[in-house]
Amino acid sequence: MFGKKYILSAVLACIPFVSHAAETVYTFDSPLAVEHTSSEVLISGILVNDTVPTTITLPWLSGGLYERCEKVFNVVMSQPAAYTLSVATEMRPVAGFPGSPPTQQLFFTRCRAELKS
């Protein structure tokens, strides 16, 4: 009984680490375009330390973080040569139907504009 408590404690302590996925950050040195659709936003530009244009697709939902990031996108696109634009995504488990395993879904987690020096 005493050993089972330690095993259970060790398993429960590891659960938070299993459920968190690593963030992927995209930093555009030269943002070229931001396009909104009903369910996603497409950002095109040249990534830092790259030379060819890249387009990434972010899931887009109205409200909260998304509206604040939309303001950041507008500021950056008003003077694209003056800012770098960073956006981050993360794959997270999402519960499905009862009894089915969770699926992975892409989430848009943050945005940042930085004035170039």
> What's 26's domain CATH number?
2.40.50
Domain around 81? 20-115
- For position 20, what pLDDT does the model report? 52
Pairing of strands 53-59, 103-115: unpaired
pTM above 0.85, yes or no: no
- For position 6, what pLDDT does the model report? 42
Tell me, what amino acid is at 1? M
Lowest mean pLDDT segment, chosen from 9-18, 19-28, 78-87:
9-18
Computed over every residue of the chain, the mean pLDDT equals 81
- For position 10, what pLDDT does the model report? 41
Whether 16 shows a pLDDT value over 70: the answer reads no
Over residues 70-81, the pLDDT tens digits come to 889 999 999 989
Closest listed residue to residue 56, CA positions, set 86, 100, 96, 16: 86
Q: Report the number of distinct structural domains present in the chain.
A: 1
